[in-house]
């Protein structure tokens, strides 16, 4: 298999870019962290990569809204380059703040004539949530999630509540198979996740969305923080597994280009 190259886009306030780089290197890729200003100066740089990652953090201090300033940069300065990248059957991944930026830039759910269809708002708890959660995976057409049915990873965010403008917009995302990751409660008889299993109050218990092609994925949880088995807080009690559950997502992305 030819070496897969990953561009990890960093900017002021990014703080999970090193973890994302490590995760992709563990999956067999060559990953580079590149500042958004460099990509703005030379948008054609993106052509040398197969995967684009927008990692977690607090870009630009979340001064306007979480991920909004970065989303504006993606839209106004890199929109054409990113759409060409996606349409050439390459992959885009946004984690936490990266999901916020991708969603608000319209790369996952395109706006209609009245504006954005969906956004990520403040958690219903009114506070920053930092905990481990369980996810049900419905891969659909999303290459990142091939062969996966569950995921146990941490979350860390203050604005992760998925909200759709209209109820039928939410139903449309569900019916189209774009809601590929949903919060679940393994201890609940029906699996429905009350707080804190659904840590932010997302409509439809949605933790991650893909675009209609499946090649653009955004998720609030942090799979890059569970690629080593020792990153799980209970590994000494439940036993040391061969790898962290999040690694499969990154390996899937690399294998997509096999």
Eight-class DSSP state of 164: E
Q: Look up 96 and say whether it is catalytic.
A: yes
**Contact assessment for residue 25 and residue 194, using Cβ atoms and an 8 Å cutoff:** no
Please name the residues in contact with 121: beta carbons below 8 A apart, sequence gap of 6 or more: 159, 161, 163
Q: Which of 122, 222, 226, 232 is catalytic?
A: 222
Q: Look up 224 and say whether it is catalytic.
A: yes
Paired residues of 218 in beta bridges:
94, 209
**Contact assessment for residue 123 and residue 201, using Cβ atoms and an 8 Å cutoff:** yes
Using alpha carbons, select from 193, 220, 191 the residue that is nearest to residue 207: 220
> Edge-to-edge strands of the sheet including 5-10?
30-35, 5-10, 51-54, 91-95, 216-219, 206-210, 181-184, 129-137, 150-157
Please name the residues in contact with 241: beta carbons below 8 A apart, sequence gap of 6 or more: 229, 232, 235
Q: Which of 16, 96, 142, 210 is catalytic?
A: 96
Q: Which of 224, 226, 232, 245 is catalytic?
A: 224
Q: Look up 114 and say whether it is catalytic.
A: no
Structure tokens at 217: 């994925």
Structure tokens at 97: 């703040």
Which residues carry out catalysis? 96, 222, 224
């Amino acid at each position: 298999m030819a070496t897969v190259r990953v561009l990890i886009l960093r900017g002021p306030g990014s703080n999970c870019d090193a973890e994302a780089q490590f995760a992709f290197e563990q999956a067999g890729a060559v990953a580079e962290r590149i500042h958004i200003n460099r990509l703005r100066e030379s948008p054609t740089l993106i052509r040398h990569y197969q995967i684009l990652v927008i990692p977690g953090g607090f870009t630009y201090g979340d001064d306007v809204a979480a991920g909004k300033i970065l989303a504006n940069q993606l839209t106004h300065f890199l929109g054409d380059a990113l759409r060409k990248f996606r349409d050439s059957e390459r992959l885009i991944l946004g984690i936490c703040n990266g999901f916020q930026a991708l969603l608000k830039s319209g790369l996952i759910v395109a706006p209609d004539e009245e504006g954005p269809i969906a956004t990520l708002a403040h958690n219903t708890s009114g506070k920053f949530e930092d905990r481990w959660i369980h996810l049900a995976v419905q891969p659909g057409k999303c290459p990142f999630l091939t062969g996966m049915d569950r995921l146990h990873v941490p979350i860390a965010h203050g604005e992760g509540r998925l909200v759709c403008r209209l109820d039928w917009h939410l139903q449309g995302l569900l019916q189209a198979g774009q809601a590929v990751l949903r919060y679940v409660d393994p201890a609940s008889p029906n699996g429905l996740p009350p707080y804190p299993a659904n840590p932010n109050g997302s409509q439809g218990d949605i933790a991650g969305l893909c675009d209609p092609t499946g090649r653009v994925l955004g998720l609030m949880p942090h799979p890059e923080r569970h690629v080593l088995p020792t990153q799980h807080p209970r590994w000494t009690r439940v036993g040391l597994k061969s790898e962290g559950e999040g690694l499969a997502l990154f390996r899937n992305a690399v294998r997509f280009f096999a």
